A and B are shown apart, each in its own frame.
Chain A
Amino acid sequence: MGELANQIVQGVLVGGLYAMYAMGLSLSVGVMRFVNIAHGDLIVLFSFLILALIHATGIGALPATLMTLPIAFVGGYFLQRFLLQRVLGQGVLPIILVTFGLSIIIQNGLLGTFGADTRRVSGGGFETATLRIGGGINIGVLPLTIFIVAILMVLALDWLLYRTRLGARIRAVSDDPATANLVGLPSARVYATAMGIVGVTIAISAGFMSIWTNFDPTAGPSRLLIAFEAVVLGGLGSLWGTLVGGIILGVAQALGAQIDVSWQLLAGHIVFLVIFLARPEGLFPKY
């Protein structure tokens, strides 16, 4: 019984990391209405960027991640403004093809630059710290931090989207780009800003991912799959839904592994399919 409780707790914490992966995708799918196939690869790209910064300057993982945040914002802004914006509104297929191409370019670019080696960033003892909470349950400080940061990210993004002028603009452009343009909103710039914010969430998840798990140039697509499932489970456009979706996947994997460890990944996908069949619109759809 204690073991089951322990696995659920660990699953919830893993869910925090999944939700973090999914946060940026939730924004681009839910608000900007396109699927970024390169989302996972962008996370891996920033993990490598953080790794390179640490190697070049000798700073810790936290300052390195913070340094990449502005780069991520500017990168996201220009990616949207000069590449993705050109194919938006031309149907579903062009944007998928463009981001798919981007994914291949990033993977091979990383393979050429860094080689196929599996990498990890050291958190300087942070990743092995633990809290004993009784009942045979220990909570790792790193997973707990990730979970808390994921919640803070949802709060911040929710506030940004629904309580600020920028958020109102983003939602207006998202609801009806033509009308938004008519009333004088610069829809291209608004979208670019939103993608900049997505970039920041990508850099934050990259920072945590690089400490918690191993990564290599081809690790992106598996991150995308998990992120996509979390977004669809939670319902399009709902950031809290994405967090819940991530947690459901994390717990499903932990419980599946109780039957046999080989069930771990499969259990997550099965739960996703079952919920998807029962509620195709997701648990907390905004639209």
Chain B
Amino acid sequence: MVDTSGIQRRGVLKGMAAVGAASLTGIGPAVAATPTIKIGLVMPKTGPLAFFTEHIPFVLDQVKATYGGKITSGGKTYSYEIVVRDSQSNPNRAAEVTQDLILNEGVNLVATFATPETVNPVADQCELNGVPCISNDAPLEPYFFGRHGDPKKGFEWTYHFFFSGEELVKALLPYWKKLGTNGTVGGLWPNDGDGIAQSKGFPPAIEGAGFKVVDPGRFDMPASNYNSQIGAFKAADCEIISGVLPPPEFTTFWNGCAQQGYQPKSVYVGKALEFPATITPFGDRANGLTTEVWWSPTSPFSSSMTGQTSMQLAEAYEKASGRQWSQPLGFRHSLFEVVFDVLKRAKNVTDPASVREALKTTNLKTIVGTVDFATGPLPNCSLTPLVIGQWSKGKKYPYDIVVVDNTNFPSIPVGGEPFVIPYS
């Protein structure tokens, strides 16, 4: 019953899209023989997650240089257009603009990235409207379970590649063991997609490895201060902090730690500590902060689009933008590697089901590792390699990420030994 109505609705939507396309060509002066392929791109251009989008202009330039506005698929050459929409870092807004892309722009495929707050609502809209969606840069569990995915069934239209929370905690544990702390971990997990997922998944894994977890509870952001959390961590003598916060929130927390004289030995905060732009203003207080490393210039992978090695990609970005490389660069690049690989392999690129088939059978060696949705660990997902790094004084830039633990992926070289934060 539900299924039938779904098909009918999809049929209606297709009809609407066809009407939209027809009216568009009617207005246009020149009627092209082949339709333009439209790629929708939803991203948080503004708002607290805006940090995630700084590489997009560079990567879009690379795409332009590689394809020049034309792609060949199924023996035909199509021109393509990338239609960008701003989610304003707001999940509701992300859903709205996706609907607009699907219903008004009639996009053939939607690409998106940057935290479950962006990716989940966008993917949900695509699933609902039967449009293929490819995404990355949100851990697999909040992506899959945050959208109430059933591991037995999976999703029909939406595919995703990134590291997983399980993989993250597996990468952190050997690193923490090497540090020589009292083994008490303070959890800084807010009331959002990532925070809730980690607060459920991390404590059993961390405690299973012989550590103790202190979790003061979920909190809403923006938080005016972190006094209570810091007080609780201080009272329990937590020497390790593990959390996930957007960059401005971490600044509030880290300044609060200094105000309260709290000096943990190791601080890992996902989302916040990946970016030089957040790290550099801390000056000496950036030294030794921990980040997970999903891509770095020392990664042993290269691009299927430009043939660049990771190091070459980072250098090209630094030269073009004048800014320091950061991890999302690799994933922005790989997102378009997959998008164009899928469009090229689709038997009939104008047919959503055909694009979906191509997406489903992706097996591509990208700059972030192999993307293959058949490998799991969850349906519709592909896991990419993850190691642990720390910020330390760099040669080219004030602070740079050094990979300090590669227990799970020995093929990614380490650049130094793990160290505790040297408060000076």
Q: Which residues of A contact B (CB under 8 A)?
A: 2-3, 6-7, 10-11, 14, 17, 115-120, 122, 127-130, 132, 136, 138-143, 212-214, 216, 219, 254, 257-258, 260-265
Contact: A3 with B259, CB < 8 Å?
no
- B217 with A214: CB separation less than 8 A: no
B65 → A minimal CB distance (Å): 29
Q: Is the CB of A213 within 8 A of B218?
A: no
Say yes or no for B73: interface residue by CB 8 A criterion. no
Chain A contacts for B252, CB-based, 8 A: 213-214
> Given the interface contacts A138-B260, A261-B228, A262-B217, does A116 sit within 8 Å of B89 by beta carbon?
yes
Chain A residues, Cβ within 8 Å of B216: 257, 260-261
- 18 additional A-B pairs beyond A140-B256, A214-B252, A216-B48, beta carbons within 8 Å, are A3-B231, A7-B227, A7-B228, A10-B225, A10-B260, A14-B225, A17-B224, A116-B47, A116-B90, A117-B46, A118-B248, A136-B234, A141-B259, A214-B222, A254-B228, A257-B227, A260-B217, A264-B219
Contact of A128 among B191, B225, B246, B255 (CB under 8 A): B255
The residue on A at minimum CB distance from B225 is A14
Residue from B231, B251, B259 within 8 A of A140 (CB atoms): B259
List the 4 closest pairs (A to B, CB-CB), nearest first: A140-B259, A257-B228, A128-B258, A138-B261
Chain A residues whose CB sits within 8 angstroms of the CB of B3 once the complex forms: none
B82 within 8 A of A: no
> What is the size category of the interface that chain B forms with chain A?
35 or more
Check if B281 is an interface residue, CB within 8 A of chain A: yes
> 10 interchain pairs (CB within 8 A)?
A3-B235, A115-B46, A129-B259, A140-B259, A141-B259, A212-B225, A216-B222, A261-B217, A261-B218, A261-B219
Q: A3-B235, A6-B231, A262-B218 are in contact. Are A213 and B225 (CB under 8 A)?
A: yes
* B47–A140 touching, CB < 8 Å: no
CA of A119 to CA of B234, assembled, Å: 28
A41–B80 Cα distance when bound, in Å, is 43
Residues of the B chain whose Cβ atoms lie less than 8 Å from the Cβ of A129: 258-259
Partner of A120, one of B232, B234, B251, B262: B251
- Chain A CB count within 10 A is highest, among B219, B223, B231, B249, for B231
Contact among A141, A219, A258 for B222, CB-based, below 8 A:
A219
Q: CB distance B281 to A213 under 8 Å?
A: no
On chain B, the residues within 8 Å of A14 by CB distance are 224-225, 227
B247 and chain A: residue at smallest CB distance: A118
Q: When chains A and B are docked, how far (Å) is the Cα of A112 from the Cα of B235?
A: 44
